[in-house]
Structure 1
Amino acid sequence: MRIVCASQPAPGHFLPTAPLLRALLAAGHEVTVVSSPAFGPFVRRAGFRFRPVGEPWLAADVTPRPFAVGESPTVRDGDYTFALDTTRANAWAAGDVLADLRPDLLVREPAEFGVTFAAERAGVPTSTVGVGFLRTGDRLLADGGARLLPIRAALGLPDRVADLDALSRRRYVQTAPEVFEPVPDALTTLRLVDRVRRPADAPAVRPRALVTMGTLLTSENLLARIMDDLARLPVPCVLAAGDRHEEVAATAPDHVEVVGFTDLAALAAECTMMICHGGFGSLTTAFTHALPIVVLPYNVDQDFNADRVERIGCGRRVDWHRLGEGDLADAVAAVHDDPAYRVAARRLADDVAALAPPAQAAATLVTELAADLA
């Protein structure tokens, strides 16, 4: 089977599809990732074939919305011009790429629409791999979904909200535990991260917070405010700072160890809690390793994720405007010391462990598609 994956050019969008794609490769299927030319090096380093489509841009160069560009989830009237122009251009440009690749299935992440519309226009079946919550209905419209309808109309596709909603639900692969958000009609679940097991004779993990603010945090102001508050924390920290680790380490407090790109799961196994922005990849790592969480949401779907973490009982949220007021240190102390947060985190880890492993999810997807095409 020939499979194409369509993703926005951002690691946080693409990486949740990677376990399923690797399982499909292992089962003997062809897999090609289609995205912005600038994203090609990242995809190839991850071990996948790549075909470029559209203009070269990276989400790290703009402030992202779920499929657009905006300032934060609290700014509801952002400028969608860039996203709409990119979606429109990709929807037309991807036609030739798909005609060449002749895919039997398009696997997409929920924020990619340009290549997705081209695939729909070509009659290619689609499957959506969830990244956090299910973006349909009111949520999709709140994220600017209605602005996509004229693009669909120009492509000759059905342009009702219900059609766009159905597209996002089709062959949905749920990557979040049901307690995070139930999706009754999901085709299958998918476990994104396996827990890193420490050796049986390893010493007990000492109190330490894993700090990560994702792959798209580029604001100097936000980084400076984080570092100021980390100096007040009551526990040692390890801060995953990606390619900025040398720069960040120069101003880090003594009790904060700064590391570059690394295996976040391996770090999580050596920590007792997490402080993060509420990105789904970071949360999944925390969930898998039963880490209580303090969430500092600053963009896209992180507001929803932070609220859900509090509702589940496995963590607390601290809003950015409260940094410098002592709220982060208070939340860290509460989450670290109150056993109720750890109990809830352990229950959530059990839920994650019950999700389907990638090979099983891939087999379910292929079987369903074959039956649908028969």
Structure 2
Amino acid sequence: MSTIAVMTSPAKGHLYPLMETLLELRDRGHNVVVRTLGSEVTMLNNLGFKASALSEDLNSAELEDWDASNPLAALNAVLQQLVSRMPHDCAELKELIAQENPDMVMVDFTTFGGQIAAEASGLPWALWSPTFLPLEMPDDPPFGLGLRRATGLRGKARDKVLRRGMSHLWDRFSLKQVNEMRVKNGLGKLRHTTDLLKRPPAVINFTAEPFEYARKQWPENLHLVGPGNWSPPNHDGPDLSHITDPIALVTCSTEFQDDAELGQAAIDALKGTGMHTVVTAGALDPLTFRPGEQATVLDFVSHDAILPRCAIVISHGGMGITQKALSHGLPIVVVPFGRDQKEVAERVRACGAGEVLSTKYLTPERLHAKVTAAMARSGRATKIAKAFEKAGGAQHAANVVEDQLNRA
């Protein structure tokens, strides 16, 4: 069968959603080689892949938007970080292609240099994204601000102005560097940075309607396959058998963004409610929190192990945990801190499967009220779970990959 070369960004939240698809491709007989975060190499090799670590320049890269003063400054910080990685992304994928001589390439949406190397290789290739994409769709508000979809002439006018402004900002932060690298690799210039999404023969997006906005028509190269909810094998996970009350799972980001206040607010908000609060500290030190008798704070717990026991999820708005919660039919409260989390939060609100609380208004009392309101939305969360199942998941995504191979 074919050899498929895969390169991810240095984040578990970008590798794990892809894993079910890679396992499906492996099981169909394809040889899958993966260049990814160094901490995950042993696990991938044990699962039958040929994995290697990204270079130190990429492996140690972290987003630095957590202390930005406003959403535009945060967007600038993220784009500047992605742009700074471009030469390393490009060189890394070129090296992988030279070493493995693959039949096809798969590359992460956040690796701009990887996309350029993939297109320049002349091989069949596909882009994937674990989160929402900055599509320029006529019915949508400009991407990145977490705005509600507009209604009426005034709303359409707002979106038209803001969409033009956001496009200008994306281009100002990254277009020059993107085009310089494209020309260096024998490719034509783009008019806008977001035109990168028009270049891949196939784009696999790990989400689905109606969590993602419903559109009249999607781009021809885009395939919504539903969430990738894989978690690593967890043979030595924490023993939570002593917890007999319904569980409220609270997640902080696995990439540092200074969101400790969410975990502590949830612990305080749910005290005396009859629920046991389990906080996963993510990138934070568990000793940061004051758990009390009705809460447990952990470095990590397998979502597969704990979500079936949960009554609700309270989250920073990471795409992974949000879609996992909804896949289990669980209502969710999102308190977005940055990155794509405001877009995730708005879609939670729009699809009716949960509640949203701004960090500006985060107090135990307000969070308690949001939890109460979200609990009444479990029926809608169940409908989202059924829609995710219908999207096809890993089998759909693997079919897209094989279709590109067959067209070569």
Q: Under a length normalisation based on structure 1, what TM-score does the superposition of the two structures give?
A: 0.83
Paired position in structure 2 for 1:41:
39
Q: Which of 334, 358, 367 is matched with 1:328 structurally? A: 367
Q: Distance in 2 between matches of 1:116 and 1:281?
A: 23
1:184–1:266 Cα change, 3 Å: farther
Paired position in structure 1 for 2:329:
290
Paired position in structure 2 for 1:90:
89
Q: Which of 203, 207, 216 is matched with 1:172 structurally? A: 203
Q: Distance in 2 between matches of 1:54 and 1:131?
A: 22
1:89–1:191 Cα change, 3 Å: closer
Q: Is the 8 A contact 2:54 2:92 kept in 1?
A: yes
Q: Is the 8 A contact 1:64 1:71 kept in 2?
A: no
- Sequence identity percentage: 23
Q: Which of 146, 149, 166 is matched with 2:179 structurally? A: 149
> What aligned pairs does 1:275-286 form with structure 2 within 5 A after superposition?
275-286=314-325
Q: Distance in 2 between matches of 1:212 and 1:118?
A: 35
1:262–1:49 Cα change, 3 Å: farther
Q: Is the 8 A contact 1:296 1:318 kept in 2?
A: yes
Please report how far the alpha carbon of residue 145 of structure 1 lies from its aligned counterpart in structure 2 after TM superposition: 5.1
Q: Distance in 1 between matches of 2:70 and 2:124?
A: 33
Paired position in structure 1 for 2:9:
8
Q: Which of 309, 314, 339 is matched with 1:300 structurally? A: 339
**Equivalent residue of 2:363, what SS?**
coil
Q: Is the 8 A contact 1:64 1:299 kept in 2?
A: yes
**Equivalent residue of 1:252, what SS?**
coil
**Would you say 1:230 and 2:267 are equivalent positions?**
yes
1:244–1:302 Cα change, 3 Å: closer
Q: Distance in 1 between matches of 2:135 and 2:367?
A: 33
Counterpart AA for 2:337 = Y
> What aligned pairs does 1:224-373 form with structure 2 within 5 A after superposition?
224=261, 226-233=263-270, 234=273, 235-242=275-282, 246-248=286-288, 251-324=290-363, 326-336=365-375, 338=376, 341-366=377-402, 368-373=403-408
How far does the alpha carbon of each residue in 1:329-348 deviate from its partner, in whole angstroms, 9 at most, with x for none?
A: 21112212x3xx11111110
Q: Is the 8 A contact 1:72 1:300 kept in 2?
A: no
1:272–1:187 Cα change, 3 Å: same
1:77–1:240 Cα change, 3 Å: closer
Please report how far the alpha carbon of residue 230 of structure 1 lies from its aligned counterpart in structure 2 after TM superposition: 2.2
**Equivalent residue of 1:269, what SS?**
helix
Q: Which of 192, 196, 216 is matched with 2:228 structurally? A: 192
- Which moves more between the two structures, 115-124 or 235-244? 235-244
Please report how far the alpha carbon of residue 302 of structure 1 lies from its aligned counterpart in structure 2 after TM superposition: 0.7
Please report how far the alpha carbon of residue 236 of structure 1 lies from its aligned counterpart in structure 2 after TM superposition: 2.5
Gaps of 5+ in 1: 196-204
Paired position in structure 2 for 1:211:
250
- Which moves more between the two structures, 262-271 or 145-154? 145-154
Paired position in structure 2 for 1:25:
26
Please report how far the alpha carbon of residue 289 of structure 1 lies from its aligned counterpart in structure 2 after TM superposition: 0.6
Q: Distance in 1 between matches of 2:261 and 2:345?
A: 22
Q: Distance in 1 between matches of 2:309 and 2:262?
A: 25
> How many residue pairs get matched?
350
Gaps of 5+ in 2: 137-141, 145-166, 232-243
Q: Distance in 1 between matches of 2:87 and 2:253?
A: 28
Counterpart AA for 2:95 = D
Q: Distance in 2 between matches of 1:216 and 1:90?
A: 20
Q: Distance in 2 between matches of 1:72 and 1:281?
A: 24
Q: Distance in 2 between matches of 1:97 and 1:130?
A: 20
Q: Distance in 2 between matches of 1:263 and 1:166?
A: 36
**Would you say 1:124 and 2:123 are equivalent positions?**
yes
Q: Is the 8 A contact 1:295 1:318 kept in 2?
A: yes
Q: Is the 8 A contact 1:6 1:116 kept in 2?
A: no
Q: Distance in 1 between matches of 2:320 and 2:92?
A: 30
**Would you say 1:51 and 2:52 are equivalent positions?**
yes
Counterpart AA for 2:380 = A
Q: Which of 73, 76, 82 is matched with 1:75 structurally? A: 73
Please report how far the alpha carbon of residue 139 of structure 1 lies from its aligned counterpart in structure 2 after TM superposition: 4.0
- Which moves more between the two structures, 267-276 or 78-87? 78-87
Q: Distance in 2 between matches of 1:325 and 1:51?
A: 44
RMSD of aligned alpha carbons: 2.9
